[in-house]
Structure 1
Amino acid sequence: MNWLNKLERKFGRYAVPNLIVYLIGAYSVGFVLNMVAPNILGFLNFQPYYILHGQIWRLITWILMPTDSNIIFLLIMMMFYYQLGTALERAWGTFRFNAYIIGGILLTEVGSLLAYGLIYLFMGGSFAHTASTMMGQMISTSYINMSIFLAFATLYPDMQVLLYFIIPIKMKWMAAVYVVIMVFSVWDTYHAIYAYTQSVSTALWYAGIMLLCIVMSLLNYLIFFLSTRNLSRYTPHEVHRRQQFKAQMREPRPGSGIAKHKCAVCGRTELDDPNLQFRFCSKCEGNYEYCQDHLFTHQHIRRV
């Protein structure tokens, strides 16, 4: 990522440490405002119509919009994303984490303004004003949180967490569920608008607004991770070559006396008995393989 390295050398000293703490603090302020003076949020949310008419503070204050109205779920969300955010900052460094979060915020704003402009151009001013009000209710940092979650799941796909403090699940599967929920939210918005207006075109416009805002807010995730990948590794020729190489490496040469499997307890291999079956143990820390006689009777290995 040469472009990001250049930016870090030039602007790295301006990076804000522990940016996730300030983001969570904004959630807290927004939650309190929603409890004590909910009408104030109507002057702080992201509405392109009012931004283009001089209320430019909305470009910043929409970050205060609460992501949840239930204090229990809000506290759980804050603790969860504090852990994810600090882990990402340790892995990437302060500047790159800043660039990721701020990039997501800016792209969300660009996408929302773009959606408003398209609606104004094709549907007229009155419809655009209504759409602007809808954006104010819909746009919050929940999509920024989603980009943080997806980034963490990409870096640590096999890390296991407890869903609702009960169900063990790997981050990669939680990310898949997250994406499915996001798609269904767009579909649900379409049906809700259609049920209210009985207009397919109106429902499609509103669903399109939501989809565009989601895609733009997650564009920082795509830019960040695609920029770190050597995409030539995924060409059909390269994939086929690697598959052939792995297949050849998996098969020992005939008559070489090299075993493919070996029991970590008794040391037997398939060369000793071709009928033996071998399995890896998911509870042992490390790649330990056991024969059928010791798979369920061995003592699990733990790293000190």
Structure 2
Amino acid sequence: MWLNKLEEKFGKYAISDLPKIIVLLYAVGFVIANISPQLYSLLELNPYLILHGQVWRLVTFLLIGPETNLIFVIFVLLFYYSIGSSLEQVWGTFRFNMYYLIGVLGTIVGAFLTYAILTFAYGESYGAFVNMDTFYLNMTLFLAYAAMFPEMEVYLYMILPIKVKWLGYLDGLYLIYIFLSSGFTVAGISVKVSIVAALLNFLLFFFSMKKIKKMGANFKARAVHKKKARAYKAKTITTKKKNGAMHECAVCHRTELDDPELEFRYCSKCDGNYEYCQDHLFTHKHVKR
């Protein structure tokens, strides 16, 4: 798996708690937008202005977040942080870093391709208005979350329970609707390219992460050291989980009552007695005290 090879070489450079950094950047951008709109306009990803010396825009566009009232922004940022942290825990720090980095690079490449095409077809006066941000990248973060936790329930408006997979379908349909209805103006083409870049990133990682489940399917074939086996046996005899279950995954919280076919093991690298199912034993973020 290409991600495994990259992680072996560059895993030590991964940024821990990246979801927290992303949310903090959006919070800073929101403050700037409300204090100095003129300064905020200098943060956007605009290829024309970047090529004319404003190279900081290659980075500062990461501060462009949801533009709405303060209360709603707080809920949105908390939501981003929640799904980002969950994905980081399931995939691991390096894989989450790669997902976001490739999405950001895809957005930048898409912006410059859009600028080049519009400039070639209609002149630089059209290309100069190309602007992009990470809005659609964040939407595909939720698609990734829905793909990893399809059966998890959330409460819509704090009242109505609904499974995440249905919200994921709505998210996907919304992206398709925006893509089809955005038209072929400069802004519309920018939106289309942003959506395509974000979805390609999602599909790349979705099919790569599917292999993680194959690792779990071969879980029984992995030899377990006798010492670990004895420790595992002792723990399963004395530890009780929710609803009377003997095993519970520390990531997805599934038990053998949810799926009798699931295998569970304790992680020797985590500080404490943390138990994981076959899907998350090799991908979770190790707990260190």
Tell me the TM-score normalised to structure 1 length: 0.66
Indicate the SS of the match to 1:46: coil
Q: Does 1:213 align with 2:213?
A: no
Larger Rg belongs to: 1
Q: Give the % identical residues.
A: 40
8 Å CA contact 1:44, 1:61 repeated in 2: yes
- CA-CA distance at 1:69 after TM superposition: 1.8
- CA-CA distance at 1:180 after TM superposition: 2.0
Query: Deviations 1:12-49 (Å, cap 9, x if unpaired)?
Result: 11111100000000010001001111110111111110
> Would you say how many aligned residue pairs link Structure 1 and Structure 2?
216
User: Residues of 1 paired with 2:41 and 2:67: CA distance?
Assistant: 16
- CA-CA distance at 1:165 after TM superposition: 1.9
Aligned-partner residue type, residue 164 of structure 2: M
- CA-CA distance at 1:77 after TM superposition: 1.0
8 Å CA contact 2:182, 2:192 repeated in 1: no
1:179 to 172, 176, 180: 172
The residue that corresponds to 1:236 in the other structure is none
Unaligned runs of 5+ in 2: 215-256, 260-289
Mark the CA change 1:141 to 1:165 in structure 2 (over 3 Å): closer, same or farther.
farther
Q: Does 1:6 align with 2:5?
A: yes
The residue that corresponds to 1:155 in the other structure is 148
8 Å CA contact 2:156, 2:162 repeated in 1: yes
User: Residues of 2 paired with 1:88 and 1:141: CA distance?
Assistant: 17
User: Residues of 1 paired with 2:56 and 2:193: CA distance?
Assistant: 23
User: Residues of 1 paired with 2:80 and 2:65: CA distance?
Assistant: 14
The residue that corresponds to 1:111 in the other structure is 110
Q: Does 1:41 align with 2:22?
A: no
8 Å CA contact 2:61, 2:133 repeated in 1: yes
Indicate the SS of the match to 1:218: helix
The residue that corresponds to 2:28 in the other structure is 29
Mark the CA change 1:164 to 1:141 in structure 2 (over 3 Å): closer, same or farther.
farther
User: Residues of 2 paired with 1:286 and 1:175: CA distance?
Assistant: 22
1:140 to 96, 108, 133: 133
The residue that corresponds to 1:164 in the other structure is 157
8 Å CA contact 2:43, 2:61 repeated in 1: yes
Within 5 A, what are the aligned runs for 1:191-270? 203=185, 206-229=187-210
User: Residues of 1 paired with 2:120 and 2:44: CA distance?
Assistant: 23
Unaligned runs of 5+ in 1: 191-201, 234-284, 288-304
8 Å CA contact 2:66, 2:73 repeated in 1: yes
User: Residues of 2 paired with 1:207 and 1:167: CA distance?
Assistant: 34
The residue that corresponds to 1:17 in the other structure is 16
Indicate the SS of the match to 2:162: strand
- CA-CA distance at 1:8 after TM superposition: 0.6
- CA-CA distance at 1:73 after TM superposition: 1.3
Root mean square deviation of aligned Cα = 2.1
Q: Which moved more, 1:17-26 or 1:38-47?
A: 38-47
Comparing both chains, which one has the higher relative contact order based on Cα–Cα distances under 8 Å and sequence gaps of 6 or more?
2
User: Residues of 2 paired with 1:106 and 1:141: CA distance?
Assistant: 10
- CA-CA distance at 1:188 after TM superposition: 4.4
User: Residues of 1 paired with 2:138 and 2:39: CA distance?
Assistant: 23
8 Å CA contact 1:187, 1:207 repeated in 2: no
User: Residues of 2 paired with 1:78 and 1:110: CA distance?
Assistant: 26
Aligned-partner residue type, residue 36 of structure 2: A
User: Residues of 2 paired with 1:126 and 1:89: CA distance?
Assistant: 42
- CA-CA distance at 1:112 after TM superposition: 1.1
Mark the CA change 1:93 to 1:228 in structure 2 (over 3 Å): closer, same or farther.
closer
8 Å CA contact 1:104, 1:218 repeated in 2: no
- CA-CA distance at 1:213 after TM superposition: 1.4
User: Residues of 1 paired with 2:194 and 2:65: CA distance?
Assistant: 17
- CA-CA distance at 1:115 after TM superposition: 0.9
